[in-house]
Amino acid sequence: MLKLKTSINNSYKISALIFDLDGTLVDSNLNFSEIKSQLGCPEEVDLLEYVERLPLKLKQEAIDYIQSHELADAKTSRWLPWAKEFVSNIKAINIPMAIVTRNYSSAAALKVKNNEIPIDLIITREDAPPKPNPTALLDIAKSWVINPNEILYVGDYLYDVQAAINANMHSCLYSPSAQQDYQHLASINVECLSELWSHLSEDH
Does residue 115 come out as left (phi exceeding 0), alpha (psi in the -120 to 50 range) or beta?
alpha
pLDDT digits (tens, 9 = 90+) for 135-156: 999 999 999 999 999 999 999 9
pLDDT-derived band of residue 50, with 50, 70 and 90 as boundaries? very high
Query: What average pLDDT does the segment 61-76 reach?
Result: 95
Do 17 and 154 touch, CB atoms closer than 8 A? Answer: yes
Query: What average pLDDT does the segment 112-129 reach?
Result: 97
pLDDT-derived band of residue 65, with 50, 70 and 90 as boundaries? very high
Asked if residue 8 has pLDDT above 90, the reply is no
Does residue 132 come out as left (phi exceeding 0), alpha (psi in the -120 to 50 range) or beta?
alpha
Asked if residue 101 has pLDDT above 70, the reply is yes
Task: Say what the pLDDT of residue 72 is.
Answer: 95
Task: Say what the pLDDT of residue 116 is.
Answer: 98
pLDDT-derived band of residue 64, with 50, 70 and 90 as boundaries? very high
Task: Say what the pLDDT of residue 154 is.
Answer: 98
Whether the bond between 132 and the residue before it is cis, its omega within 30 degrees of 0, is yes
Asked if residue 11 has pLDDT above 70, the reply is yes
Does residue 82 come out as left (phi exceeding 0), alpha (psi in the -120 to 50 range) or beta?
left
Please give the domain boundaries of the chain with CATH numbers for all domains.
2-27+79-202 (3.40.50.1000), 32-76 (1.10.260)
**Mean per-residue pLDDT of the chain:** 94
pLDDT above 70 covers what percent of the chain?
99
Do 70 and 107 touch, CB atoms closer than 8 A? Answer: yes
Return d(Cα 57, Cα 61) in angstroms, integer.
6
Task: Say what the pLDDT of residue 204 is.
Answer: 52
